[in-house]
Amino acid sequence: IGSVSENIRQLTKLIDFRINDNSFNGTIPDAIQFCQELEILDFSHNDLSGTLPSGLFKLSTLQYFYLRANSFTGSISEDIGQLTKLIHLLVDENKFNGTIPNSIGLCQDLEKLHLQESGLHGTLPDGLYDLMNLQDLYLDRNDFSGTISERIGDMTGLLDLR
């Protein structure tokens, strides 16, 4: 059992950071923002908790973002829209609260969006229907309400909707 050190700020050339399937605990340090070349971040299946630091949303080269099966809380920031190169966003099985940010629609390259069993609620934002490259959309086991927009019919690339 251990945590992610603030000294990751020194890994400025890091491209691939995978510590999935371990027993790391604590929070993600805001110093992650100094890993400006990061394309893959996989912290899935650990014991990490706390809120997502604002530094995460400054990783403009991030393409694969996996935080599955941890205990993160708080909301998913509107700043998620700054991660415009994202292809996979898998943050399911956490303890978030709040809604899906409308700015998710700015992540035009997204192919996989897994939000199931993550403590989210509210209505589905209009921005969600702007994700024309989306193939997998997992929303199950949350507390969403309202209607699914007729714009879902424009998302013709969807292969798996739960």
pLDDT digits (tens, 9 = 90+) for 101-119: 999 999 999 999 999 999 9
Answer yes or no: are the C-beta atoms of 26 and 48 closer than 8 Å: yes
Answer yes or no: are the C-beta atoms of 84 and 62 closer than 8 Å: no
Separation between Cα atoms, residue 22 and residue 72, nearest integer Å:
16
pLDDT tens readout for residues 44-83: 999 999 999 999 999 999 999 999 999 999 999 999 999 9
Separation between Cα atoms, residue 146 and residue 78, nearest integer Å:
20
Q: What is the pLDDT of residue 1?
A: 61
Separation between Cα atoms, residue 113 and residue 68, nearest integer Å:
11
pTM of the model: 0.94
* Collapsed DSSP state (helix, strand, coil) of residue 42: strand
Displacement of CA 146 from its chain's centroid (Å): 23
